Amino acid sequence: MPVSLLVGIRRSMTGASASLLLIAIVSLNIVWGYPWMGMFAATSTMLVIGIIVNRLLGPRLAVQLSLPNYAVSGDSFSVTMHLHHRGRLPTFDNRIGFENQPSRLLSNRERSIVPCDQQSFQMVPFIEANGRLQTHVSLKGFRRGIHILPPVEATTLFPFHLFECKRAWDGNASIAIAPAPLDRDKDVMCGALIDQISRWTRRWQSGDSFDFAGNREYEVGMPVRRWDFRSWARLGRPIVQEFQSPSTRMATIIVDSSVDTSIHSDKSVKEQEADFEQLLRWVATAIEHWSRLSVATRMYVSSEPASAFLGSDYLGVSDLPKLMVQLAAATMIEANESERRIETVLGNVDPKSVILFTVRKRFGPNQGDQDVGMTHQTEYRDSSIGQVNIVRYESEPKLRGNAVPDLAEVRDAS
């Protein structure tokens, strides 16, 4: 117990307390008398009283966090802290923020969530007993996924910044870091992807835009879309076919989150994961584009059970936060299981309204003859399984070794 107490005091010392301790030690090495005895007594008293007051007047907080449903990777987001000091005594000179857990040796991109700037800790001069406080802190997420926010940390520097007593509280909050959409100004393929999706959207919306409602007898002056000549000939009266606009028209995105772990795969698992992350950025770009066009969109990621998608009620409106959270939570699964789930979903939706995003060169048992060869650049391809449109991401292949083959070698290899 004494050893742990001394270690705790040592860790809480600041430059001011270290200076006082140094003065006290120096005063012991001088012949006793005035003023050295007074200096030793003063410095020792300040150290003892300082550590006691620092511990007694520290904050005792109850923490609640308010944060957005999701944040985009690489963009900052604001977190609101609702703090309740439940101590009987007031607290002074507190520095409040999120605990910086990762090692300093890690770069920002190797961390999950980091503060946006050096002012991530807010200085709070005073909190009254049983008082409440609200403060804002900006964070930035770099890695896609569902991340738990670090604990809230309060550092007490009272009195006179002699000691710093750190206390941490878990806010029990997590946030979804979604993949960042492509930048049309920086990524050449972004423009091609958006153009293809826009053409598909116009073709889909202008195609089968009405549903058959039934037949009725023609009345003078009524608009006619299509005559029913067979019924007219059978009944002897003019009969028209009536159509009505469908109540709900939604675009369906299916994301193939498969990973090929077989020995025949030409890519390692790490390379496939990198391709999958880029594919999710394509999906985020499509979702953002459709959101601007007010196209109702729903999404299924094959890492989710098919029943979760088929059992959901869709009201004909897009829920952008929900779609982004789905992308953040996406994980890779075995290719056979992914294909089985996707086929289950395709059997229960209108295939004309589906776009399938995948990184596989072939999808399904009947797709072996499709032209999906590897390219030296990221490529958008629009093919189909039946009536299902496919967006296939193909990364740039890596040449084996450091030598660059010339045209003859490539021609011989092909």
- Where does a domain end: 159, 178, 197? 178
> Does residue 204 belong to any structural domain of this protein?
no
221 and 262 within one domain? no
- pLDDT level of residue 325 (50, 70, 90 thresholds): very high
318 and 387 within one domain? yes
- pLDDT higher for 117 or 164? 164
Please say whether the beta carbons of 168 and 175 come within 8 A: no
Joined together, the tokens standing for residue 26 give 């120096």
Q: HSE on the CB side for 141, CA within 13 Å?
A: 24
Tens of pLDDT, residues 122-138: 899 999 999 999 998 88
257 and 224 within one domain? no
Q: Report which listed range, 2-11, 39-48, 366-375, is most confident.
A: 39-48
> Does residue 101 belong to any structural domain of this protein?
yes
356 and 282 within one domain? yes
82 and 14 within one domain? no
> Does residue 53 belong to any structural domain of this protein?
no
Mean pLDDT of 196-219: 75
310 and 219 within one domain? no
pLDDT-wise least confident of 110-114, 149-153, 253-257, 298-302: 110-114
Average pLDDT, the chain: 79
Tens of pLDDT, residues 338-349: 989 998 998 888
332 and 269 within one domain? yes
The number of domains in the chain is 4
146 and 15 within one domain? no
Task: Provide the domain limits for residue 218.
Answer: 212-245
Task: Kindly tell me if the per-residue pLDDT of 104 is higher than 60.
Answer: no
Mean pLDDT of 23-38: 74
- pLDDT level of residue 146 (50, 70, 90 thresholds): very high
168 and 135 within one domain? yes
How confident is the model at residue 321, as a pLDDT? 93
Tens of pLDDT, residues 350-368: 777 889 999 887 665 444 3
pTM: 0.75
78 and 24 within one domain? no
